[in-house]
Structure 1
Amino acid sequence: MKAFVPRVEYLIELSRASLFSTSATWPAKKPARTRARIKEERWRRCATFRTRGVQGNVDAKTLQSPKFLDMSAEEEQPSRVAIGISFGNSYSSIASTVGGGDPKVIANEEGDRQIPSILAYVDGEEFHGTQAKSQLVRNSKNTVAGFRDFLGKDFKSIDPTTARGAAQPQEHESTVAFSIRDSESESPSTVTVSEIATRHLRRLAASASDYLGKKVTAAVITVPTDFTQAQKAALVKAAKDADIEVLQLITEPIAALLAHDRREDHRPADKTVVVADLGANRSDVAVVSVRGGMYSILATTHDYAVGGLKLDETIQEYVAKEFVKKHKVDPRETDRGLAKMRLESEACKKALSLGSSASFAVESLANGIDFTLNLNRTRYDMLAGKVYGRFVQLIQDAIVKAELDVLDIDEVLVSGGTAHTPRIASNLGSIFPESTQIVAPASDAAAINPSELTARGAALQAYMIESYDTEDIDQSTHAAVTVTPHLAKSIGLVLTGDEFKPIIPAETPLPVRRTVNFTATSDSEAALIRVAEGIRDIKITQPEPKAKQNGKATDNDEDDDEDEDSEEEDEEKRETMWKVGNVVGELALKDVKKGSKVTVQVQVGADLEITMSAMVAGKSGVKGSVPGSAANGAAH
């Protein structure tokens, strides 16, 4: 049964330990060892010591003396204040589970929940977020943007176009840096990307501290799935330099899923989910299997050239052409005009995500000419059609890479700021079956704000682990825990007529145990229960051709032909079918009466040993096992 040998897949940051449980009931936090609690523990130890009769010269007064109860700095464990940080190339956000409740995204001093990942320097003053973004028009050379993906890389390996319209990255020793001039009278200073990231993270933590009323000391930070170990190490160092202890780095699709699965209306279930993170500079897609509260990333795809900025560019191109038609001047020829168009195009795109039309208005766009243009959503969707197509193709590529079909996908979770665009959700709905839930604002009224998903998920993880020791967290996220074999094929029961009923779906991490209950439909002296592998197949049914109408030609035939051409053709019908594969084992239950409750349990170990048991309610059962090394190959 070599087909049963699973491939090894990476589990996400969540381990089997309750520390990282994703069940519906969230685990209680480990209480921090406060000064009062340490004193109480010391008193209890001393009291026990005295009751055993080994009192010596120690009496009750001495036990409670300040000298005896003095706690050293090493013994006292101050509690952390941890938040979730979504660190994006274009925008960042911070969140916290205030009072242990649902995560809440925190607004900064300007009231922004989506904080631009931008820093600007003017006359010795540092601007951050939206204030820094406004400097892209008049002070772009001293404004740093799009720097996250430069972390942990050398200059030769970066794509400098992500920082277009801002301070340009340059090579500095073995890293990437920016040349910043605070004022015209001063000479430029070189600031490394690590220092820029530190300043950005420090400002985010300060905003969270102001809101919470206490200093933030730790965080769970999100990263893309393709972040290298060098990039992760650089991010941890940048956070440490900002006095932030990184409890864990969690991948963006998993953070988004954590927040989504935390919804009150959500019921934990095994499922396969596509998480499409449509950002500003790039788009990332992950196919994730959810099995028993554990997440496994099956495949990822990335497009570093398509994102929300591409949608902005479609508006820019349209506006520029209209401006040239009217004024015979191209506003893209000047850096300032181009910067103004970029900012207004983004605002126009966001307005079209909420309404059917938007106004593009810029003062002194070119040659002192003010320009205003109305754009409706229909025209916008037509202009952005190619970009939408690339989004859909990226998702389809991820599904193919995971060796799955669209019929295997239970949910599509769209995250990132670009996910607000209504047409994206409708386009996805056209390629997936009706049974697949498209989770986006335009298709699901209960969907969480896609711009806030990753920050919320990071905050949930921070809440669960902030009171654990660093050593405990490191051990629980070690590869020995988070890397595990997965089932290559589904395991299930063979029913009457060789019908297959899946019990343990493919891509389930091992070890695993599943139990099913059913009612006997007839009396049987020896009921045979067969456990087998399942082979998933896609049945395609072609639509029947429409019958042509007979009759003489008329003057209206041409019109009728046009009507027929305009009618939508019936699409082929695709459905999932299961076939019985290799039989793993058989169990025989004696004297099963009609209506009896039968319980079957199947367990697969990490070494592929399969243990099966079956019993009738109120009676003894049978049990058997198939050694993994003998029949099922070896896990690797």
Structure 2
Amino acid sequence: MAAFGVHFGSTSACLAVYKDGKTDVVANDLGDRVTPCIVAFTDHDQAVGSAAKQGKIRNAQNTVCNVKQILGRSSDDQLLQQYMDNSPVKMILQDDEPVFQVEHKGQPKDVTPSKIAEAIYLRMLETARSHGDGDIHDSVLAVPCDFSEDQKQAISESANAAGFSVLRTVSEPVSALLSYDIGQTDNTLECNVLVIRIGGESTDVSIVKVQNGLYRVYCSQNSTAVAGSKFTDSLTDYLATEFYKKYKLDVKESRRSLKKLRLEAENVKHTLSTLGNAQCAVDSLFEGVDFHCQVSRARFESLISSLVQQCPSLIDGLCSTADITKTDIQKVIMCGGGTKIPFVQKIITDALPNAEILNSIPPDEVIAIGAAKQAAILTGSDETDIKVNFEQSEVECLKKSICVKAASESTCQLYPVFPSLTPFPCRKHETVTLPSHQTSFKLELCECSNNNSVDADLGKLVMQDLPKSAVVSIVFHLRRDGSLHVTCKEESSQKTVSITVEVQS
């Protein structure tokens, strides 16, 4: 029985399968091991993947890219607003949901982001069918650490609608660790693993603590300043300058010509990840002029140096947040197409000279392979090589502290109930004895980055008409789904109040 892992990124998607004791990435019908996350609508059909990529030049107003960024986001989300402002495809809000307005087969058509994602998953399903054993395609989806429950639900619904049977979602850094079986073959292993993923639109850096076969994502940080698209932008600017030097023509005067040049810059970037030199060739780039030039890897490295040099700072900042030093990092896993660039690998390796660099799996395949192994665990596809119960292998943690607020006329004190990085589910019990003159009790809950400032008020409970010297029993239950349930009960009267709130896990 086959089990699948799917990594749906901002710019590309990858599918891996676990079958007959082996895990490998499944190539699509073009022989590519990753598929562009692009959907284009034309007068004749709907194209997905590489076939849709050319639409970014000739059919930009009907070609949707980077849809993962807005899946499951609310209409007032700032990132959604920014996406809509910059989208070459016309977008509107319809019943508080973003909608793409495209032209398909000569007719106007409204398409939701979830339908775009479904089309991409459907293409991945077609690839999966070539390695499946029937109509059931059990799968695990890898998602970013900062994905909300709404985003996880949205991406799962799109995959299910396409025909996958989604077992669960799992965080990308955990998938990366499982791809290398860290802590799974030796449950006594204890180590800190840094996972850095440089994708098309952002960079994620995470520290995962491995102990007794359990994974605890200690902390994670996201940056849009370093990304594969930024590398492509730098190379595009250089090529545009070279074209101007040679022909005294400014390619930036034509949006279409600039897109053609950027598409070629992306090809050059990929070539320079494996070769020392690459040829740039664009026929009829601007005003009928062909453009040909050679780019060396050294030149490319100088163009992206200022961007790549930000990676050590991201690592330093994350270690500071986790209250560890770089020498406490034992292993490093690089993920995402951006880490295929040798210069990027060198900068990260130099920043962590004492750590073991795990790089035997192609960076853009690591996360999908880990997700496939997780799917195999959940389905019992392999009982000899994988013996871990995955339901217990990943421990989720709080990103921020949950505190009780005690306010008086002059001060406001915060008392942490669950400090940041507390793994959940978790339960805590407290007892409070009130002064004899006090007949009411108020408990205010808040979320804090530290013990000195309130980030968000979560809710409050109020008990009134209590007996003298009342004893209030308080139970805090941080549930598996990330919600917090609090119950207050006065012991003598048995009066009880409770509240359930959502927290940012």
Distance 1:380 1:162 in 2: 29
Q: 1:211 to 1:165 in 2, by over 3 A?
A: farther
Structure 1 portions without partners, runs of 5+: 1-79, 441-446, 469-474, 486-506, 511-636
Distance 2:185 2:375 in 1: 22
- Give the residue type in structure 2 aligned to 1:91: S
How far has the Cα of 1:210 moved from its partner? 2.5
Asked if residue 219 in structure 1 is aligned to residue 219 in structure 2, the reply is no
How far has the Cα of 1:430 moved from its partner? 2.4
- Is contact 2:37-2:49 (8 Å) kept? yes
The residue aligned with 1:247 is 167
Q: What secondary structure sits across from 1:261 in the alignment?
A: coil
TM-score (norm 2): 0.72
How far has the Cα of 1:169 moved from its partner? 4.1
How far has the Cα of 1:401 moved from its partner? 1.2
Asked if residue 448 in structure 1 is aligned to residue 370 in structure 2, the reply is no
How far has the Cα of 1:483 moved from its partner? 5.2
Identity of aligned residues (%): 30
Asked if residue 458 in structure 1 is aligned to residue 371 in structure 2, the reply is yes
The residue aligned with 1:295 is 215
Distance 2:31 2:301 in 1: 30
319, 328, 350: which one aligns with 1:408: 328
Q: What secondary structure sits across from 2:280 in the alignment?
A: strand
94, 98, 101: which one aligns with 1:172: 94
How far has the Cα of 1:428 moved from its partner? 2.0
Asked if residue 277 in structure 1 is aligned to residue 197 in structure 2, the reply is yes
The residue aligned with 2:50 is 130
Larger-gyration structure (1/2): 1
The residue aligned with 2:355 is 436
Q: What secondary structure sits across from 1:256 in the alignment?
A: helix
The residue aligned with 1:364 is 284
Higher strand share: 2
- Give the residue type in structure 2 aligned to 1:465: L
- Is contact 2:207-2:218 (8 Å) kept? yes
- Give the residue type in structure 2 aligned to 1:170: I
The residue aligned with 2:33 is 113
- Is contact 1:205-1:216 (8 Å) kept? no
Distance 2:161 2:288 in 1: 45
Q: 1:509 to 1:150 in 2, by over 3 A?
A: closer
Number of equivalences: 394
Q: What secondary structure sits across from 2:40 in the alignment?
A: strand
90, 94, 114: which one aligns with 2:11: 90
- Give the residue type in structure 1 aligned to 2:94: H
Q: What secondary structure sits across from 2:310 in the alignment?
A: helix
Q: What secondary structure sits across from 2:145 in the alignment?
A: coil
The residue aligned with 2:338 is 418
Distance 1:261 1:96 in 2: 16
Higher relative contact order by CA 8 Å / sep ≥ 6: 1 or 2? 1
How far has the Cα of 1:341 moved from its partner? 1.6
Q: 1:181 to 1:371 in 2, by over 3 A?
A: same
The residue aligned with 2:70 is 150
How far has the Cα of 1:155 moved from its partner? 4.0
Q: Deviations over 1:238-258 (max 9, x none)?
A: 222223221010111110111
Distance 2:294 2:103 in 1: 39
Q: 1:177 to 1:81 in 2, by over 3 A?
A: farther
269, 286, 293: which one aligns with 1:349: 269
308, 311, 316: which one aligns with 2:236: 316
Distance 1:265 1:426 in 2: 29
- Give the residue type in structure 2 aligned to 1:179: Q
Distance 1:118 1:381 in 2: 28
How far has the Cα of 1:356 moved from its partner? 1.1
Q: 1:178 to 1:146 in 2, by over 3 A?
A: same
Q: 1:478 to 1:287 in 2, by over 3 A?
A: closer
Distance 2:206 2:155 in 1: 22
The residue aligned with 1:238 is 158
Q: 1:293 to 1:414 in 2, by over 3 A?
A: same
Q: What secondary structure sits across from 2:180 in the alignment?
A: helix
Structure 2 portions without partners, runs of 5+: 382-388, 399-420, 425-505
Distance 1:136 1:484 in 2: 40
Q: Deviations over 1:209-231 (max 9, x none)?
A: 13336334321001000001111
